[in-house]
Every structure is written in structure tokens, then in C-alpha cells.
Structure 1
Amino acid sequence: MFQATLHIYIQAISLLIAIFLYRRIKSTSLVYFIPFLSITVLVEIIGYWCIVKGIKNYWIYNIFTTLEFCFYSYIFYQNLRKKLFKQIVAWFVPLYTIAVAANLIFLQGTQSFHTYTFLLGSFFIVVFCCFFFFETIQPETISLKLSQQPFFWVCTGLLVYYLGSVIINALFEYLRSNDLQQEGKKIYGTINRSLILILYTSFSVSFFLCRNNRKTYSSPS
């Protein structure tokens, strides 16, 4: 049971750290992680309850992951500087929402997880991370060591998590197609928990770094 709910504890700890460090992050766009992480923990609790009760929870995660990609896109929009990059991020949100709706209606349906559009969203989050890293290596934008920039840790966590998600989802599909679904579930669970630990630890590090680096962030708007 503990392993099945470990990701919820990890997310809850990250939320508590964000709340505890509210004064550090309140003037940055990271302040929006407090309501986002609150919703994340709530969704995961409901999702786990559905599993225990034998209720399908695909619809919950179809909605939540769509909103999750939109949230991360907003955070990138707030922290990217180049106009072209910001425009790409801005256009992604409505187009992605339409793609998810079309996928659920015409392709995968509402009774399964939207793997096609999840992979699409993962791809674009990785692209947005590359946008940020590209900006940080430009001479005119370097003001701090990369490891001292709070959003660097957010990007690092997202990059590792979504690259890893693409790989483990492809691996799980391969194992399932070769009648190795039970082994696939074990491997998927182990890797996924590791990725979640990396992601939310990265978020927590970024919260701690905000105190002395507020100027590296866009203010909430």
C-alpha cells in the first residue's frame, strides 16, 4: 500500500514546502504552484480511491493531465523572454486543448487514457524546456549561475520526467504486446515513482532558491 501511495506523499511534501516558503515565492510565478500542487494531491487521492473501489479513473486523469500541460505552459510563458518562444507557448494551449478533445471524441474515447495527446504534450514540454535552456546560454541573459536559477530546477525536473514518461510508456506498450503485462506494470511503477521523486524534488529546490533570486523571475500577472 505504501508503494502505491508513495507518489502522493512526495507531492504532498512538495506542497507543504511551497506553503512554508510562501514568503519567498509570493512575488514569483512559482506562487501558482501552491494551488496547482493542492489540486494535484487531491486528484491523486481521488484517483487512488477509485482504484481501491474498482472504479475506472481514466476520465479524471484525462482532464487533469490536460490542465497540467496548460499550467506548465503558463509557467513557461511567464519565464521565457524571447517573443517567438512566448508566442509558441501561447498558441500551444488552445491547440492542445482542441487536440485532446478531438482525440477523446474520435480516436481513443473517454474510457481509456489519452496516450496520443499525452505524448504530444510531453513532447512540447520538452521543447519548452529547450527554449529556456537556449535562453540561459545567451550572453545577454546570463545573470546567475545556472544552478542558482530557480526555474532551472523546474525545467530540469520537467525535462527528466517527460522524457522518462515517453520512454516508459513506450516500454510498457512493448511489454504488453509481448504478453509481459505484469512485468511491465512492475517496471513502469518503479521507474514512474523515481521520475515523480525527481520532478517534485526539483520543484522543492526551486522554492528554496527563490529568496535571493526574485529578479530572475517574472512577477505573477
Structure 2
Amino acid sequence: MPLYLSINTIAEITCFLIGLICLFQDKSLLWKSFIAYLFLVCITETGGIYLRVHHTRNYLIYTIYMFFECLMVSTFFYYIYKRYHHKIKLLYSWMALFLVIYLMELYTSHFKSFPSFTATFMSVVFVVASLYFYLLIIKDERFRQLSTYPTFWIVNGILLYYFGSTACNVFYDYLVQNENGIKATLSIRYIIFNLLNVLLYACWSYAFICRYYQRKLSSSSR
């Protein structure tokens, strides 16, 4: 069991439990879907560790997970943009483009490796989408207390994680080496991704808590 309790899994499980407590009675299907998504995250991470422990390549489980990751984050951005009169065709177009790139990379690699180019492309798109959200917030005339605005913290987590992961992928060869230029077992890249995971799920956990208290205040004021 200790093998399965890494920094990543502890952050993911903690976020899942907070989401379960805070969002279980939420009336929004999208917010409630975070519970199912985070459960999938925990299952994927546990399955990946299990396969690695048994000396089996685990890229396939993360490859399948990537599709659901893209779907969840993309749907959330559509939920945000919908308030500013963006149409669902934008979501369909993006998912179609993602699937084309995703399937083409898998086909060219004969389904024998993780689609890293697709992951990097997806990360760049999510970074741009996050920055666009900030632009919409700046232009929006409605006042929002950003310190307790759940959507803001979800996007903060997305921006930190995907910007950091994109940078890690760009500088991959440097980050997996130690100071002597030799491949390191505990690389800087591994440490950075642990930190990015913690930041992502910390932001999301805080967003769920804000959403919970927002719902409580709304129901009590009726």
C-alpha cells in the first residue's frame, strides 16, 4: 500500500474527497462531474503505479485518460465562455481537432507510445484558453470577489499545471539529467511535475470549498 501513496496520489485523493463533500449536492451537473472525473484521475494514477510496479508499460492507461482529461477541461471552458455568448460549435470544433491529432499520432506510432505531441498541443491550447478567461474577467463589468470565485481558482490551477507541463516538455532532455549530464532517477522534471500536481489540486480543492460556501450562502438568503 505505501507504494501507492505518493505525493501525486495523496494530492489527487485529497482533492477527490473534498470534491465529494463539497459538490455532492451541487445543482450544477458540470460541477458535480468533477467528482467522477477526479475518481477517474485516482483510478488512472493507481493503475499506472500498479503496472509500473509489475514492470509493465503503463503508457496506454494514460493515453486513454488523456481523452477524458481533454473533454473535462474543454467542457469547463465552454461553460465559462457560454456566459459571453460563445457557441457550442467552438467546443465541437476543438474536440474534433484534438481527436484528429490524437488519433493520427497514435496511428503513426502504431499505438506503441504515449502521444506526447498531442499532450503538448493540448497544454498550449489550455494555457491560451486560461489567459483568454482572464481577459474576459478584466473586460466584464460585473464585480467579482476573485479570492472566493470558484471558477477563477479552477482556471488558476489549469494555467499553472499546463503552463508548467508545457515548459517541462520543451526542456525535457535537460530536466531529466543531473548536473553531470547523466540521466537521473529522481529528475528535476519529476519534482516539478509533483509540484504542479499539488498546485493544480490545491487550487481545485479551494475552488470546491468556495463553491460549497457560495451555494450555502445562496440557499440561506432565500
Q: Kindly provide the amino acid, as one letter, of the partner of residue 166 in structure 1.
A: T
Distance 1:196 1:130 in 2: 20
Query: C-alpha separation between the residues in 2 aligned to 1:189 and 1:115?
Result: 16
Equivalenced residues, count:
212
Q: Which residue of 2 aligns with 1:219?
A: none
TM-score computed with the length of structure 1 as normaliser: 0.86
- The letter for the 2-side match of 1:62 is T
Deviation of the 1:86 alpha carbon: 5.3
Write the deviation string for residues 108-151 of structure 1: whole angstroms up to 9, x where unpaired: 342221111101100111121122111111243x2312222101
Pairwise CA distance, 1:153? 0.4
Please say if residues 175 and 184 of structure 1, whose CA atoms lie closer than 8 Å, have aligned partners that are also in contact.
no
Deviation at 1:29, TM superposition (A): 2.5
* Alpha-carbon distance change, 4 to 85 in structure 1, aligned in 2, over 3 angstroms: farther
Identity, % of aligned positions:
25
The answer for the alignment partner of 1:183 in structure 2 is 184
Matching of residue 29 in structure 1 with residue 30 in structure 2: yes
Q: Gaps spanning 5+ residues in structure 1: where?
A: 215-221
In structure 2, the residue matched to 1:14 is 15
Deviations 1:151-178 (A, max 9, x none): 1001001001001001112222345699
Alignment RMSD (CA, Å): 2.4
Identify the residue that residue 99 of structure 1 maps to in structure 2: 101
Alignment partner, residue 43 of structure 2: 42
Distance 2:169 2:89 in 1: 30
**What is aligned with 1:113?**
114
**Hey, what does 2:67 align to over in structure 1?**
66
Could you tell me which residue of structure 2 aligns to residue 152 of structure 1?
152
Deviates more, 1:166-175 or 1:74-83: 166-175
C-alpha distance after superposition, 1:175-211 (max 9, x if no partner):
5699945338521111100000000000000001113
| Structure 2 CA distance for partners of 1:184 and 1:55, relative to 1, 3 Å | closer
Q: What secondary structure is seen at the aligned counterpart in 1 of 2:114? A: coil
CA contact (8 A) 2:4 2:49 kept: no
Q: Shift of residue 90 of structure 1?
A: 3.3
Structure 1 contact 24–210 (Cα < 8 Å) conserved:
no
Q: Which moved more, 1:76-85 or 1:202-211?
A: 76-85
The residue type equivalent to 1:116 in the other structure is F
Higher normalized contact order (CA 8 Å, seq sep 6+, divided by chain length): 1
Q: Which structure shows the bigger proportion of residues in helix conformation?
A: 1
Task: Report how far residue 28 of structure 1 moved.
Answer: 6.0
Please say if residues 146 and 152 of structure 2, whose CA atoms lie closer than 8 Å, have aligned partners that are also in contact: yes
5+ residue gaps in structure 2? 216-222
The answer for the alignment partner of 2:219 in structure 1 is: none
